[in-house]
């Protein structure tokens, strides 16, 4: 069993829909990261969080440490949000444990 599991693996939605991507992990962590990988391949860090909730524009990330679960939400989704969203956890220095990613497609 992978230590970091993301769901769903693939998600297709219509423009404007509210999107939720989930990440569950099985190890103790000091922080959890959400990243976005563009269709061209570039990877950008979206959030790093260790408790509670963070918001940036239309993106919201939450984490529940007790349940070992995090969610990434996108409000008012847009085709430019189409990307692979990756969850990674900090369980020990330097070596993040990476999820396999969720491929999101937003149709106009």
Partner 1 sequence: NAGVTQTPKFQVLKTGQSMTLQCAQDMNHNSMYWYRQDPGMGLRLIYYSASEGTTDKGEVPNGYNVSRLNKREFSLRLESAAPSQTSVYFCASSWDSNQPQHFGDGTRLSIL
Determine which residue in the list 11, 13, 31, 60 makes contact with partner 1, applying CB under 8 A.
31
**How is 33-71 classified by DSSP, letter by letter?**
EEEEE-TTS-EEEEEEESSEEEEETTEEEEEETTTTEEE
95 binds partner 1 (CB under 8 A): yes
Which window, 16-24, 58-66, 75-83, 94-102, contacts partner 1 (CB under 8 A)? 94-102
Query: Out of 7, 10, 45, 75, which residue is the one contacting partner 1 (CB under 8 A)?
Result: 45
Is there binding between residue 108 and partner 1 (CB under 8 A)?
no
Contacts of 97 (CB under 8 A, 6+ apart): 3, 4, 25, 27, 88, 89, 91
Q: Which structure tokens are listed for 1?
A: 């069993």
Q: Which is nearer to partner 1, 88 or 106 (CB)?
A: 88
The CA distance from 25 to 2, in Å, is: 8
Is residue 36 near partner 1 by the rule CB under 8 A?
no
Which parts of this chain interact with partner 1 (CB under 8 A)?
A: 4, 30-31, 33, 40-45, 48, 86, 88, 90, 93-96, 98-101
């Amino acid at each position: 069993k992978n230590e970091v599991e993301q769901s769903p693996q693939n998600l297709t939605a219509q423009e404007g829909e509210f999107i939720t991507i989930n990440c569950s992990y099985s190890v103790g962590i000091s922080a959890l990261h959400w990243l976005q990988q563009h269709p061209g391949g570039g990877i950008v860090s979206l959030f790093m969080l260790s408790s509670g909730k963070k918001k940036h524009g239309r993106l919201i990330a939450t984490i529940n440490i007790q349940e070992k679960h995090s969610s990434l939400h996108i409000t008012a989704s847009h085709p430019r949000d189409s990307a692979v969203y990756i969850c990674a956890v900090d369980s020990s220095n330097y070596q993040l444990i990476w999820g396999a990613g969720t491929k999101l497609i937003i149709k106009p």
